[in-house]
Amino acid sequence: MNLRCWLVALMMALACITSAQDDRPVLDTVLSNYRYPFDVKFISFNSQGKSLRMAYMDVKPAGQNGRTVMLLHGKNFNGAYWKTTIDALVKEGFRVIVPDQVGFGKSSKPVGYQFTFQQLAFNTKLLLDTLGISKIYLLGHSMGGMLATRFTLMYPEVVEKLVLENPIGLEDWKLVVPYTSIDQNYQKELKADYETARKYQLEFYYDNKWKPAYDEWLYLLTGWIKSPGYPVVAMSNAQTSDMIFTQPVVY
C-alpha cells in the first residue's frame, strides 16, 4: 500500500471512530437519557449524610428455579453490559439482580463520599434487604470481584455460591506500582476522551482485537465527558481508583 492509500485508509478509520460516538447524544451524569436492556428501578437511602439513589435491574424468568443471581460490574462498566449474561441466566430460570454501585452508571455520584468496598457491600446488602432476598449466587467481574469477595466475607450467610470472573485485588499492587493520588487520578480523568479510553480497553479487555459491539460499552464510559456535570463523574472515578489500589482483598 502506498503512502496516499495508507493516509486515505487512516482518515476513513478515524472518521468511523469519531462517528461512532459523535453522532450520539451527550449522556448526563446518571445516564438518564440512556436506556438499559431491562427496566431500571431505584432504592433511595441515606449514607454518610447524603441522600442517594442506587439503580438496579431485577429480571425475573417466566418459570423460576427458586434461585437468585446477583451480578456485580467492573470499574469501567455498569449493569448494562451484563445483558447477554442476564439473558442466559433467565433462560435457565434464575432471577437476576444487577445493581449499579453508587458512583457508577445510573446511581448517584455523591461528592465527598468515602468509597470503600465495605460501604459498597453494605449498600448492596441494603438493596437485597429491600427486595426481601436472603440467599444469592454472587458473580463479580474485575472490580466487582473485589466487591463480591468483600460482600461474602461480611455476609457469608447470604452467599450460597461465589463466582469470580477475571477479578482484581487478589494481589497487592502497592508492592509493585507507585501510588497515584486522588488529585492526580482526577486530573487524568478530566483529560480522558474516546481515544484514550478505547486504547485502554483494547489492551486490557479485548486482547487488541476490537469489535464494533464494544463501542456500546465505550459510549457508556465516555458519552458523558462533554456533560457539564462530568467533573463530578471524574472525581467518582478517581476516588474509586484509589479504593481499588488501597483496599486489596489479599493484604
pTM of the model: 0.90
pLDDT score of 3: 47
Nearest to 127 by CA among 222, 56, 75: 56
Per DSSP, helices labelled H in 68-225 are: 83-91, 117-131, 143-154, 182-190, 194-204, 215-222
**Neighbouring residues of 157: CB distance < 8 A, sequence distance ≥ 6:** none
Confidence of residue 250 (pLDDT cuts 50, 70, 90): confident
19 has pLDDT over 70: no
Interval 215-226 mean pLDDT: 95
Instruction: Give the gyration radius of the chain's Cα atoms.
Output: 19
pLDDT exceeds cutoff 90 at 29? yes
* Residue 136 DSSP class: E
Place of cell 483529560: 191
Residue range 61-81: mean pLDDT, rounded = 96
Q: 3-state class of 50 per DSSP?
A: strand
Q: With a cut of 80, say whether residue 193 has pLDDT above it.
A: yes
**What is the pLDDT of the chain when averaged over all its residues?**
92
40, 106 Cβ separation under 8 angstroms: yes
pLDDT of residue 2: 52
φ, ψ of residue 103 to 5 degrees: the values are 100, -5
Pick 18 or 129 by higher pLDDT: 129
Confidence at 23, pLDDT banded by 50, 70, 90: confident
pLDDT of residue 10: 43
Q: What is the pLDDT of residue 20?
A: 52
Q: Following DSSP, what letter does each residue of 149-184 receive, concatenated?
A: HHHHHH-TTTEEEEEEES---SS-GGGTS----HHH
Tell me the pLDDT tens digit for each residue of 139-162. Answer: 999 999 999 999 999 999 999 999
Q: Which domains does the chain have, with CATH numbers?
A: 26-246 (3.40.50.1820)
> What is the C-alpha to C-alpha distance for residues 31 and 106, in angstroms, rounded to an integer?
5
Q: What's the pLDDT score for residue 8?
A: 39
Q: How confident is the model at residue 21 (pLDDT cuts 50, 70, 90)?
A: low
1, pLDDT greater than 70: no
Q: Is 15's pLDDT higher than 80? A: no
97 DSSP β-pair partners: 58, 70
Question: Average pLDDT, stretch 228-233?
Answer: 98
Strand order in the sheet with 40-47: 40-47, 50-59, 95-99, 68-72, 136-141, 159-165
Query: CA torsion angle for 181, 251, 98, 32 (degrees, to 10)?
Result: -10
